Amino acid sequence: MGSTGEYESQRRVPVPPSKPFLKSLQARLKETFFPDDPFRQFKNQPTSSKFLLGLQYFVPIIEWAPHYTFDFFKADLIAGITVASLAVPQGISYASLASIPPIIGLYSSFVPPLLYAMLGSSRDLAVGTVVVASLLISSMLGKEVSPTENPKQCVQLVFTATFFAGVFQASLGILRLGFIVDFLSHATIVGFMGGAATIVCFQQLKGILGLIHFTHETDLVSVMRSVFSQIHQWRWESAVLGCCFLFFLLLTRYFSKRKAAFFWINAMAPLTTVILGSLLVYLTHAEKHGVQVIGHLKKGLNPPSASDLAFGSSHLMAAIKTGIVIGIIGLAEGIAVGRTFAMFKNYHIDGNKEMIAFGMMNIAGSCTSCYLTAGPFSRTAVKFNAGSRSAVSNIVMATAVMFTLLFLTPLFHYTPLVVLSSIIIAAMLGLLDYEAAIHLWKIEKFDFFICLGAYLGVVLGSVEIGLIIAITVSLLRIILFVARPRTMVLGNIPNSGIYRSMDQYQIANSVPGILILQIDAPVFFANASYLRERISRWIYEEEDRLKSAGEASLHYVILDLSAVGSIDTSGISMLEELMKNVHRKGLQLLLANPQSEMMKKLDKSKLIDKIGQGWIFLTVEEAVSACNFMLHTCKAIHVAVDQNAEENKV
């Protein structure tokens, strides 16, 4: 097609200076593991200051404690006591859901919040046990050891799983591997949480109906079969109590949502139901009429449990697997909740610090008779609405729980199990976020099906199956996205030098004799073959269109590479092969706006020389101008040749 040497307005695209391999690798690793540049605060600081800054980084309470005021304490005192009123009944309820003694739920709201107050970076996160992790513990470890036949061994496995969850979480934070949690997309979490909430609600029919024997399976079919196969054992007394308490809890939530100032009504409702239920059972002796109660709870603070960690157990691998799964779920929920409330108050929380804090509090918790704790949304919302100002509210909550453990546990003897089931169901209904699912359907159908897959996997299979389905579909989506990147035809916006997608901009016009294509992703081994075939198809389709429309034939193919951030050797080979195919058809290939990384690879592979420096342009506009210049020049030459031929004939 000729050369662009006569096109004087062209500005050349430079090849950036090459960096040594080790420097490039160092920069890449830094961007991967240290995107927040945590070491910038240590630059140009004396050794003593570096030590203090390092201590403040790993123990944030050292940084903010000197500036803490009495006004902050008054707000944190109210918030802490308010959250404690929710933490006590929730702790007992969720421990029952995890198939472990209820007292462990109270233990888990004492030591972990104290550690998080020192190590965590969120001012608003309330630490405590979480429903989904409790369900996972029950379903995954219940298959290994029966909590009714071997309760002591079951508790040991729970502590061991909590220990490995803490080790896993802390390791992610220390090794700066927090981006792994990002693979749990919003759609995945919505579906998984919704499925878990559905199963938990149906499982609580055991407590509502006063059933003694119940299935250990978590799928909906098994749960409903267990419920309806025992119709003759349903207790109407328990069912009436359960429905009344559930109605009360839902009513208080409704009023709290109607007016934010009434948040305390919803916060106090669980404790109120526990007190009312206990008084009712005590005064009417309902436990003698089929209403099951918690029974004796030991007084005193957390006993040490380091010796109970079952490292030599034959079920160790199950405990490790459970620990990793609940560790990921705890991190995903806790960090998401922390970031949500941090946005409301316009401050930042460090994801890696949070992982270290979560890990350390769960390691310490496993040695002090606690099971997995994270940052549940319900407690955090109550704490936030109560006016919490700092992590001191977690210390206040832990102190209130300590007071309960020392003096008040005998008062829970008559607490009916049906109350705990009502509290769990009320909490679970808040996790059924159907509005989020509808939003996913409207915005991105693929995300909706990821959400639906996770939900159905949990409800019809198990929590593990639901999690595997959700992660697998999410990874499949990533693979499809990178393996099948978008390519689009660009056209000219009238009266401008702007070129945009002709699908998006209906007013964009194609340029006669020129096909402009944009690649919208990095080019590497996974998509190089597809891109070669797709670009070739664009060329065939454009030639057929021009031929059928009777327009000028195609002469130039311009690739807009502005969105191609990187390219590997497979991508380079693809470009070389594409260039040969284009030349074989009598066309010319032009490149527009190749990025730094691509120019380096083009230069090292000598592909610049094969394409020709004159065919590489800074913008699409310049590439089009060069093509038009060449087309007009060729046309003028053809006209002159034709005139000379006519004159010679004459």
Summarize pLDDT for 368-384 with one digit per residue, the tens. Answer: 999 999 988 778 877 87
Q: How far is CA 622 from CA 133, 557, 603, in A?
A: 58, 14, 21
pTM (2 decimals)? Answer: 0.74
Which H/E stretch holds residue 29? helix 21-33
Closest CA to 575 of 623, 515, 535: 535
Closest CA to 325 of 282, 293, 391, 372: 372
More confident residue, 47 or 597: 597
Structure tokens at 14: 């430079």
Q: Is residue 428 part of a domain?
A: yes
Asked whether 173 and 353 are in contact (CB, 8 A), the reply is yes
Residue 584 in domain: yes
Q: Does residue 279 sit in the same domain as residue 407? A: yes
Give the whole-angstrom CA distance, residue 553 versus residue 547: 7
Residue 44 domain flag: no
2: pLDDT strictly greater than 60? no
Residue 383 lies in a domain: yes
Do 432 and 555 fall within a single domain?
A: no
Higher pLDDT, 24 or 317: 317
How far out from the chain centre does Cα 243 lie? 35
DSSP state of 46: -
Given a cut of 60, is residue 204 above it in pLDDT? Answer: yes
SS3 238: helix
Q: 């579906």: which residue's tokens?
A: 191
The residue range of the domain holding 546 is 485-640
Q: Which residue has the higher pLDDT, 510 or 256?
A: 510
**Residue (of 374, 375, 366) closest to 327 by Cα position:** 374
| 382, containing H or E segment | helix 377-385
For residue 577, what pLDDT is reported? 93
pLDDT in tens, 140-190: 888 888 888 888 999 999 999 999 999 999 999 888 876 666 666 778 878
* Spatial CB neighbours of 515, under 8 Å, sequence gap ≥ 6: 489, 538, 539, 542, 554, 556, 557, 558
Mean pLDDT of the region 640-650: 58
Q: Tell me, yes or no, whether 254 lies in a domain.
A: yes
Long-range Cβ contact pairs of 16-24 (< 8 A, separation 24 or more): 16/596, 16/599, 16/600, 18/600, 18/604
Please indicate, yes or no, whether residues 316 and 378 belong to a single structural domain of this protein. Answer: yes
Is the per-residue pLDDT at 302 higher than 60?
yes
Q: What value does the mean pLDDT take over residues 461-490?
A: 82
Question: Own/partner pairs for 539-546, CB < 8 Å, 24+ apart?
Answer: 539/515, 539/582, 539/585, 539/587, 542/489, 542/515
pLDDT computed for residue 530 by the predictor: 92
When mean pLDDT is compared across 118-127, 430-439, 490-499, the lowest value belongs to 430-439
Shared domain check, 511 and 405: no
Which of 425, 430, 461, 458 is CA-nearest to residue 205? 425
Tokens 């220390």 found at: 174
Per-residue pLDDT, 436: 86
Q: Which residue, of 478, 508, 542, is where some domain finishes?
A: 478
Task: Identify the residue whose tokens are 């080019």.
Answer: 523
Identify the CA nearest to 128 among candidates 334, 354, 324, 319.
334
pLDDT for the residue 425 = 84
Structure tokens at 338: 């922390």
Within a 10 A sphere around the Cβ of 505, how many other Cβ atoms? Answer: 15
C-alpha 546 chain-centroid distance: 47
Q: Are residues 209 and 68 in the same domain?
A: yes
Amino acid letter, 48: S
* 402: number of Cβ within 10 Å: 18
- Reported as a single tens digit per residue, the pLDDT across 524-564 is 888 999 999 999 999 999 888 888 888 778 899 999 999 89
Q: Which two tokens stand for residue 502?
A: 């002709």
Taking only the tens place, the pLDDT of each residue in 214-273 is 776 778 888 888 888 888 888 887 888 888 988 988 888 888 777 766 666 777 788 888
- Range with the poorest average pLDDT among 149-163, 363-377, 590-604, 632-646: 632-646
Residues 565 and 628 grouped into a single domain: yes
378 in a structural domain: yes
User: Which pLDDT belongs to residue 9?
Assistant: 47
- Return the SS3 of 141: helix
225 and 244 in a single domain? The answer is yes
CATH number for the domain spanning 538: value is: 3.30.750.24
State whether 446 and 492 are in the same domain: no
Structure tokens at 289: 């009429």
374, with CB counted inside 10 A (0-12, 13-18, 19+), is buried
Confirm whether 14 is domain-assigned.
no
DSSP state of 523: B
* Same domain as 239, residue 214: yes
How far apart CA 279 and CA 294 sit, in angstroms, is 13
Q: Identify the pLDDT of residue 147.
A: 85
Span 86-100, pLDDT tens digits: 788 888 888 988 889
What is the pLDDT, as a whole number, of residue 646? 62
Which residue among 435, 457, 478 closes a domain? Answer: 478
Q: How confident is the model at residue 576 (pLDDT cuts 50, 70, 90)?
A: very high
In a domain, 545, yes or no: yes
List alpha helices for 66-219, DSSP H: 70-97, 102-107, 111-119, 131-142, 151-174, 186-203, 205-208
What pLDDT, in 10s, does the model give residues 449-472? 888 888 898 888 877 787 788 778
Same domain, 427 and 281: yes
Residue 49: C-alpha distances to residues 174, 277, 527 (Å): 22, 56, 50
**Bridge partners of 257?**
none
Sheet holding 487-492, edge to edge: 499-501, 487-492, 514-519, 556-560, 588-592, 616-617
Q: Taking residues 499-518, report their average pLDDT.
A: 91
Who contacts 473 (Cβ-Cβ below 8 Å, separation ≥6)?
A: 449, 450, 453, 454
Q: Are residues 474 and 489 in the same domain?
A: no
Helix, strand, or coil (residue 411)? helix
Last residue of a domain, one of 478, 507, 539: 478
Query: What distance, in Å, lies between the first and last C-alpha atoms of the chain?
Result: 31
Q: Which helix (H) or strand (E) holds 421?
A: helix 417-429
Residues 520 and 468 in one domain: no
How far is it, in rounded angstroms, from Cα 243 to Cα 412? Answer: 21
How many domains is the chain built from? 2
Spatial neighbors of 210 by CB under 8 A, at least 6 apart, are 233, 234, 235, 237, 238, 239, 290, 291, 292, 418
Average pLDDT over residues 629-636: 75
Q: What is the mean pLDDT of residues 407-433?
A: 82
For 240-257, write each residue's pLDDT tens digit. Answer: 888 898 898 888 888 877
- Do 144 and 310 touch, CB atoms closer than 8 A? no
Query: Residue 232 burial by CB count (10 A; 0-12/13-18/19+): exposed, middle or buried?
Result: exposed
